[in-house]
């Protein structure tokens, strides 16, 4: 009776963490199965016993199953690894399950297995023909993991000599070897996400602390064959905030492109420490509002009448804001920064002795956040002086992947009473798509186009863009107007407003007269939002 009760207890514990438990021999033949067999497979347990365990999974998982058995040592556990299940009759959606394996030393040659069912496609990145994760998918999974607080290690592995070995094999054998290596990496990765190829012979993956990286390296080198050696490093993100970990991960992957794992690891601790310091200092800058805003006039071309100002951020005295703003973008602090700037502009508008309009930059990322729009709604409730005075200039529009969603967000701002401008507008297809989808009040033409107005072809293209905006009732602003000649060229094209040192330098307060304009000078650094990073 005691033995029976003990067995029931063990079964209960097994099913508490799995939907199906089964046992296989070294050949992968199912010798025992118990649990939601029919629900998962559409077959009875009697039908499965004696079948290969590959029948449970999609055919694409065969290399991973083979590698899982080969790599499993007595007393060791593999998994959980997210696997695609075999498609049952009448099922259209691909289903997935987490597979775990354990080889009990007292029960050779059997392997104990468990399956826990997940949703359709849940948490499983795409894989290429070699079984590796594409760079963009890996970045997305890694960043999601870090943002959710799962600050596990990042493993870097270099298989020196692998390219030479692959070049000596026929295509079929080379493909088989790549599949085997990617399967071994996948089994050792966190949640079975898999590895990404950073460069030739170099792989990165979200690691598991319980997995010995040295043993994995030896296993990979042995699988690749003579002449291949492994160098590896494990980078620990567990001590930092998500923003710190993200920046450190990007640094590590960028550095791994040209350096070995050991060299990357040597500089990693310093980067983590420096990033923690940068996050702390930037947050203090926002909390204490220790940045400054300067105001550059936007003027009606032809009449030289002031229309509005743009608020431009300054950090550390009179230094360019470019580096600080890029840092905010890299550390995912741009939303906090945008709201701090908007609050400062609202304070200036509220204290202004006479009506004035000021444009505040808001990144596309910030615009799509419901909390930011709620913040702006509260600002709109401060009164007509704020609603009429605050113009929202949307930057980094490359972040718009869903134009319909962005259009609704822009519409919400205009419904609050704010005018909206699209920044860095060009002649490309993306800008034309914005005109088609977004109802805005202004577009600001990228200074790179304005500076090339002397080129006949550029001027012709820009003339048509300006005419299209006029037909749609959208006013145009030319940025980077530094000379009288450029101002005249912009006026000839029909551009409505201009911004640049020809009309006026940025000043500490939003005050302007035409006499303050300068004939020439450099353009103040402005937001671009383009961050170079691996992947």
CATH of the domain at 113: 3.30.450.20
Higher pLDDT, 347 or 323: 347
Check residue 7 and give its pLDDT.
Answer: 53
Assess whether pLDDT exceeds 80 at residue 266.
yes
By mean pLDDT, which of 154-168, 378-392, 440-454, 515-529 is the weakest?
515-529
Confidence of residue 300 (pLDDT cuts 50, 70, 90): very high
Mean residue pLDDT of the chain comes to 83
362 and 509 housed in the same domain: yes
For position 420, which CATH number holds? 3.20.20.450
pLDDT-derived band at 89, boundaries 50, 70, 90: low
- Residue 88 falls within a domain, yes or no? yes
Interval 348-370 mean pLDDT: 93
Task: Name which of 515, 516, 499 is nearest 507 in CA terms.
Answer: 516
Which of 214, 245, 278 is where one domain is finished? Answer: 278
Strand partners, 216: none
Q: Which CATH number covers residue 271?
A: 3.30.70
Cα radius of gyration (the chain): 30
SS3 content of the chain, % helix, strand, coil (to 5): 45, 20, 30
Q: Identify whether residues 23 and 51 lie together within a single domain.
A: yes
> Based on the domain organization, do 16 and 84 belong to the same domain?
yes
**pLDDT confidence of residue 82:** 85
* 475 and 334 within one domain: yes
Q: What is the pLDDT of residue 171?
A: 93
Arithmetic mean of pLDDT, 311-331: 71
Residues 222 and 270 in one domain: yes
Task: Name which of 374-378, 397-401, 497-501 the model is least confident about.
Answer: 397-401
**Domain presence at residue 129:** no
Domain count for the chain: 3
Residue ranges making up the domain that contains 397:
289-516
pLDDT band at 319, cuts 50/70/90?
A: low
Question: How high is the pLDDT of residue 77?
Answer: 82
Q: Report which of residues 41 and 28 the model is more confident about.
A: 28
Q: Which residue has the higher pLDDT, 44 or 367?
A: 367
Share of the chain above pLDDT 70, in %: 85
Q: Give every CB contact of residue 288 below 8 A, 6+ residues apart in sequence.
A: none
User: Could you give the count of Cα atoms lying within 13 Å of 87 in the half-sphere of its Cβ?
Assistant: 9
- Per-residue pLDDT reduced to its tens digit, 401-456: 788 999 999 999 999 999 999 988 875 557 788 888 899 999 998 877 777 666 66
pLDDT given at position 317: 56
In a domain, 162, yes or no: yes
Asked if the model's pLDDT at residue 243 lies above 80, the reply is no
Residue 16 confidence class, pLDDT cut points 50, 70, 90: low
Mean pLDDT of 487-496: 90
- For residues 345 and 424, membership in a common domain is answered with yes
The whole-number pLDDT of residue 97 equals: 86
Confidence of residue 396 (pLDDT cuts 50, 70, 90): confident
Structure letter (DSSP) for residue 192? G
pLDDT band at 146 (very low <50, low <70, confident <90, very high): confident
Same domain, yes or no: 98 and 160: no
Q: pLDDT category, 373, cuts 50, 70, 90?
A: very high
Q: What pLDDT sits at residue 233?
A: 93
88-102, 182-196, 490-504: the lowest-pLDDT one: 88-102
- 402 and 440, same domain (yes or no): yes
Q: Among 63-72, 195-204, 379-388, 488-497, where is mean pLDDT lowest?
A: 63-72
Query: Stretch 390-402: mean pLDDT, rounded?
Result: 85
* β-bridge pairing 154-160 and 229-235: antiparallel
Q: Identify whether 524 is part of a domain.
A: no
| 354: in domain | yes
Mean pLDDT of 119-136: 71
Are 216 and 354 within one domain? no
How high is the pLDDT of residue 135?
86
* pLDDT at 169 (0 to 100): 94
The domain boundary, picked from 94, 120, 146, lies at 120
Residues 364 and 398 reside in one and the same domain: yes
Greater model confidence, 89 or 44: 44
Structure tokens at 32: 């025992």
Residue 240 has pLDDT above 70, yes or no: no
pLDDT at position 45, please? Answer: 83
Decide if pLDDT at 8 tops 60.
no
Give yes or no: residues 371 and 315 share one domain: yes
pLDDT of 227 strictly over 80: yes
pLDDT at 382: 93
Residue 346: is its pLDDT beyond 70?
A: yes
> Which of 120, 143, 167 lies at the terminal end of a domain, its last residue?
120
Tell me, yes or no, whether 534 lies in a domain. no
Q: Determine contact, residues 52/30, Cβ cutoff 8 Å.
A: yes
Look at residue 141 and tell me whether its pLDDT is greater than 90.
Answer: no
DSSP, residue by residue, 202-264: EEEEEB-TTS-HHHHHHHHHHHH-TT-EEEEEEE--TTS-HHHHHHHHHHHHHHHTTS-HHHH
Backbone phi and psi for residue 29, each to the nearest 5 degrees, phi listed first? -90, 130
Residue 379 pLDDT: 94
Position 363 in a domain? yes
What pLDDT shows up at residue 412? 96
Q: Confirm whether 528 is domain-assigned.
A: no
Q: Which of 99, 214, 193 is nearest to 146 (CA)?
A: 193
Assessment of whether the complete model's pTM goes beyond 0.75: no
Higher per-residue pLDDT: 151 or 406: 406
Question: Are 215 and 97 contained in the same domain?
Answer: no
């Amino acid at each position: 009776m005691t033995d029976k009760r003990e067995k029931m207890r063990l079964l209960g514990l097994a099913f508490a963490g799995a939907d199906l438990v089964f046992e296989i021999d070294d050949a992968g033949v199912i010798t025992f199965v118990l649990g939601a067999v029919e629900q998962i497979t559409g077959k009875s347990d009697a039908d499965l016993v004696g079948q290969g365990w590959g029948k449970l999974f999609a055919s694409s998982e065969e290399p991973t199953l083979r590698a899982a058995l080969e790599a499993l040592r007595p007393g060791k556990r593999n998994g959980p690894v997210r696997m695609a299940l075999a498609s049952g009759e009448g099922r259209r959606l691909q289903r997935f399950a987490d597979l775990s394996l354990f080889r009990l030393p007292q029960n050779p040659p059997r392997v104990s297995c468990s399956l826990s069912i997940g949703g359709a496609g849940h948490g499983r990145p795409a894989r290429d023909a070699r079984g590796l994760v594409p760079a963009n998918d890996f970045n997305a999974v890694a960043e999601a993991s870090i943002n959710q607080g799962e600050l596990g290690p990042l493993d870097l592995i270099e298989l020196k000599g692998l390219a030479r070995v692959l070049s000596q094999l026929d295509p079929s054998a080379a493909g088989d070897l790549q599949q085997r290596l990617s399967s071994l990496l996948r089994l050792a990765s966190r949640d079975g996400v898999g590895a990404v190829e950073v460069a030739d012979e170099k792989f990165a993956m979200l690691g598991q602390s319980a997995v010995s990286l040295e043993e994995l390296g030896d296993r990979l080198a042995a699988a690749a064959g003579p002449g291949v050696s492994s160098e590896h490093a494990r980078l620990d993100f567990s001590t930092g905030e998500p923003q710190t970990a993200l920046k450190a991960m990007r640094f590590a992957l960028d550095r791994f492109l040209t350096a070995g794992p050991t060299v990357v690891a040597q500089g990693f601790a310093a980067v983590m420490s420096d990033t923690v310091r940068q996050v702390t200092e930037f947050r203090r800058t926002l909390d204490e509002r220790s940045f400054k805003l300067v105001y550059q006039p936007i003027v009606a071309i032809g009449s030289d009448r002031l229309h509005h100002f743009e608020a431009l951020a300054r950090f550390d005295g009179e230094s360019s804001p470019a580096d600080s703003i890029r840092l905010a973008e890299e550390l995912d602090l741009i939303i906090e920064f945008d709201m701090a700037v908007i609050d400062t502009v609202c304070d200036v508008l509220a204290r202004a002795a006479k009506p004035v309009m000021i444009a505040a930059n808001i990144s596309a990322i910030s615009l799509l956040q419901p909390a930011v729009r709620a913040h702006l709604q509260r600002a709109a409730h401060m009164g007509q002086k704020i609603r009429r005075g605050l113009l929202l200039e949307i930057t980094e529009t490359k972040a718009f992947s869903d134009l319909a969603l962005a259009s609704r967000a822009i519409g919400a701002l205009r419904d609050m009473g704010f005018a909206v401008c699209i920044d860095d507008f060009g002649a490309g297809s993306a800008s034309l798509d914005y005109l088609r989808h977004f109802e805005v009040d202004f577009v600001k033409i990228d200074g790179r186009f304005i500076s090339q107005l002397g080129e006949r072809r550029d001027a012709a293209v820009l003339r048509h863009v300006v005419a299209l905006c006029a037909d749609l009732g959208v006013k145009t602003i030319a940025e980077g107007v530094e000379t009288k000649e450029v101002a005249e060229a912009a006026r000839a094209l029909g551009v409505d407003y201009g911004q640049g040192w020809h009309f006026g330098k940025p000043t500490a307060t939003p005050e302007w007269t035409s006499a303050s304009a300068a004939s020439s000078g450099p353009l103040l650094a402005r937001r671009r939002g383009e961050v170079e990073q691996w992947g």
